[in-house]
C-alpha cells in the first residue's frame, strides 16, 4: 500500500498500513521465513551493506514481515518509526541502552511491571545508570526527583494492578523543561485507547505479547517514536545487539492489529460492566477501574483515553484466604498472570506478580492481601459474573 497513512482513519491503518504486496498478488501479508537475502551482484551486495542502496540484508534487522508490523504499529501510534523486539522487556532494555549511558539517571513511576524494576535496578544499575521511583500522580515528587544527570522519565499508565492514571501531557512538559525524554509503556491501553506521542511523549513502549496479539500466543515487543531516537538510535542498537522479533511472531501481531480496536472496545465494555457489578457486591471492599466515577482520576482518564481498558482490580474482605478461595472457585477464568487475552485471567497480585516485594514495599504500592486483578476477556460478561459469584456468596 502507499504510505499516505495520515489520511486514513485508525481502523483503515490497522488493516492496511505496512502492506507491500509482492508480485504474487497475495491479499494477506506473507511470512518471510528467511534469514538472509540474495544480491544480484557483488556490487549490489556492497551497496546494500554500505547503506548506499536500501534493501534487505539479514533478518536480524531487515525482514519484510517484521517491517510490515513495525510500519503498521507506527501508523497507529502516530510515530515516524517503530522497532520491533523479541519481547516487551527487550523493548525497554533496547530503549535504555540506546538512549542512555553510564552516569545517567532515570525517574520512574513506582508501580510499574515487576521485571522493569529489576531491569532498572539490577541490570542498568550494574552499569552505573541509577533509577529513582516516585508516586505516579505526585507531580511535585517527579520534579523533585529530577537531577542534573536525569535523562529519562518512565511511566506506565494506567498502572498495574491499581489502574492509577498519570497525566502524560503534564509529564511531557516537565520532562522537556528539564531536558529529559518521556517514555510511556502503553501496554494497558494500546493506541486504540491512548496516543502518548500525540500528548507529547517521546517514546512509546509495547509488550506486543498482551493486547496487540490479544489471543495469548506470542511474546514480542516494540518501540515507537521519531526518526532520530527510534529510527537511528534504537534501530542501531537492535541491528547490532540483536534482540530482534521473529517473522512468525511479527505476522501474528500484524494480524492482531487488524482487530485491535474492535477487541479493545469489547474489552472495555465487558470490564466496565463487571466493575460496576463488583462494586455492588457485599464482600467486595473496593473496586479499581478508571471507568468508575469512584476512581480518583476518572476525569483525567476520560480526557486522556478514549476507553477505560480491560483491567479491573478489587479488594476482597477477608484478605488472602478469601482471595485464594474466590480464585480457586472459578471455572471459566484462567488462573494466570498474563493479561490482554480474549480469555479472562485472574491473579492474586500479592503472591504472584508482586510476590517478590517485601510486605513494606507491597503496602507502599497499595497491594493488599485481598487484592485480585482480572484481565477481562471477551467471554459473555454474564458468565464471568456467575463464575465470580461462587466465591463471593
Ligand X SMILES: *Cc1c(COP(=O)(O)O)cnc(C)c1O
Give the binding site for ligand X (CB under 6 A): 87-89, 113, 116, 156, 160, 185, 187, 207, 209-210, 219, 221
Q: Are 344 and 214 in contact (CB under 8 A)?
A: no
Q: Tell me whether residue 268 or residue 322 sits nearer to ligand X (CB atom).
A: 268
Contacts of 212 (CB under 8 A, 6+ apart): 73, 190, 206, 220, 222, 253, 256, 257, 260, 340
| Minimum CB distance to ligand X, residue 305 (Å) | 15
Q: Tell me whether residue 113 or residue 324 sits nearer to ligand X (CB atom).
A: 113
Place of cell 474482605: 317
Radius of gyration for the chain, computed over Cα atoms and rounded to the nearest angstrom: 21
Determine the straight-line distance between the first and last CA of the chain, rounded to whole angstroms: 55
Whole-angstrom distance, CA of residue 63 vs CA of residue 4 = 22
CA atoms lying within 13 Å on the CB side of residue 378: 14
| Minimum CB distance to ligand X, residue 225 (Å) | 17
Report the relative pairing of strands 221-225 and 203-207 from DSSP bridges: antiparallel
Q: Computed from CA positions of residues 40, 234, 70, 210, in that sequence, does the dihedral angle turn out positive or negative?
A: positive
| Minimum CB distance to ligand X, residue 228 (Å) | 24
| Minimum CB distance to ligand X, residue 108 (Å) | 12
Q: Tell me whether residue 17 or residue 187 sits nearer to ligand X (CB atom).
A: 187
| Minimum CB distance to ligand X, residue 232 (Å) | 24
Alpha-carbon distances of 70 from 222, 253, 258, 306, rounded to whole Å: 8, 10, 13, 23
Q: Are 190 and 260 in contact (CB under 8 A)?
A: yes
| Minimum CB distance to ligand X, residue 364 (Å) | 19
Q: Tell me whether residue 158 or residue 391 sits nearer to ligand X (CB atom).
A: 158
- Measured from each CB, the residue nearest to ligand X is 88
Q: Tell me whether residue 167 or residue 185 sits nearer to ligand X (CB atom).
A: 185
Whole-angstrom distance, CA of residue 340 vs CA of residue 330 = 19
| Minimum CB distance to ligand X, residue 186 (Å) | 9
Q: Which of 238, 247, 278 is nearest to 373 (CA)?
A: 278
Q: Tell me whether residue 134 or residue 205 sits nearer to ligand X (CB atom).
A: 205
Q: Tell me whether residue 207 or residue 387 sits nearer to ligand X (CB atom).
A: 207
Amino acid at each position: 500500500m502507499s504510505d499516505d497513512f495520515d489520511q486514513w482513519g485508525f481502523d483503515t491503518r490497522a488493516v492496511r498500513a505496512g502492506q507491500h504486496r509482492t508480485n504474487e498478488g497475495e491479499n494477506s501479508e506473507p511470512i518471510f521465513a528467511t534469514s538472509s537475502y540474495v544480491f544480484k551482484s557483488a556490487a549490489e551486495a556492497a551497496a546494500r551493506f554500505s547503506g548506499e542502496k536500501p534493501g534487505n540484508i539479514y533478518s536480524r534487522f531487515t525482514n519484510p514481515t517484521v517491517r510490515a508490523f513495525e510500519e503498521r504499529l507506527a501508523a497507529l501510534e502516530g510515530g515516524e518509526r517503530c522497532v520491533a523486539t523479541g519481547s516487551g522487556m527487550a523493548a525497554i532494555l533496547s530503549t535504555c541502552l540506546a538512549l542512555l549511558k553510564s552516569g545517567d539517571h532515570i525517574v520512574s513511576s513506582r508501580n510499574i511491571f515487576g521485571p522493569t524494576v529489576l531491569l532498572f535496578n539490577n541490570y542498568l544499575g550494574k552499569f552505573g545508570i541509577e533509577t529513582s521511583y516516585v508516586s505516579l500522580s505526585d507531580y511535585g515528587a517527579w520534579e523533585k526527583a529530577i537531577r542534573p544527570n536525569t535523562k529519562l522519565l518512565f511511566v506506565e499508565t494506567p498502572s498495574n494492578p491499581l489502574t492509577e492514571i498519570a497525566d502524560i501531557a503534564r509529564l511531557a512538559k516537565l520532562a522537556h523543561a528539564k531536558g529529559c525524554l518521556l517514555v510511556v509503556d502503553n501496554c494497558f491501553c494500546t493506541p486504540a485507547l491512548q496516543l502518548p506521542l500525540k500528548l507529547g511523549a517521546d517514546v512509546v513502549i509495547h509488550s506486543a505479547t498482551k493486547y496487540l496479539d490479544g489471543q495469548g500466543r506470542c511474546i514480542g515487543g516494540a518501540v515507537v517514536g521519531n526518526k532520530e531516537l527510534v529510527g537511528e538510535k534504537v534501530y542501531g542498537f537492535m541491528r547490532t545487539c540483536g534482540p530482534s522479533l521473529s517473522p512468525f511472531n511479527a505476522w501474528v501481531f500484524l494480524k492482531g492489529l487488524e482487530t485491535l480496536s474492535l477487541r479493545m472496545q469489547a474489552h472495555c465494555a465487558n470490564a466496565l460492566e463487571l466493575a460496576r457489578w463488583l462494586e455492588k457486591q457485599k464482600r467486595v471492599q473496593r473496586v479499581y477501574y478508571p471507568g468508575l466515577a469512584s476512581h480518583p482520576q476518572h476525569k483525567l482518564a476520560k480526557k486522556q483515553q478514549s476507553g477505560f481498558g480491560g483491567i479491573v482490580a478489587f479488594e476482597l474482605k477477608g484478605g488472602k484466604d478469601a482471595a485464594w478461595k474466590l480464585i480457586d472457585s472459578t471455572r471459566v477464568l484462567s488462573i494466570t498472570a498474563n493479561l490482554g487475552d480474549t480469555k479472562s485471567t485472574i491473579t492474586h497480585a500479592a503472591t504472584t506478580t508482586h510476590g517478590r516485594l517485601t510486605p513494606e514495599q507491597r503496602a507502599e504500592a497499595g497491594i493488599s492481601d485481598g487484592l485480585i486483578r482480572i484481565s477481562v476477556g471477551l467471554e459473555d460478561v454474564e458468565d464471568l459474573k456467575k463464575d465470580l459469584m461462587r466465591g463471593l456468596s
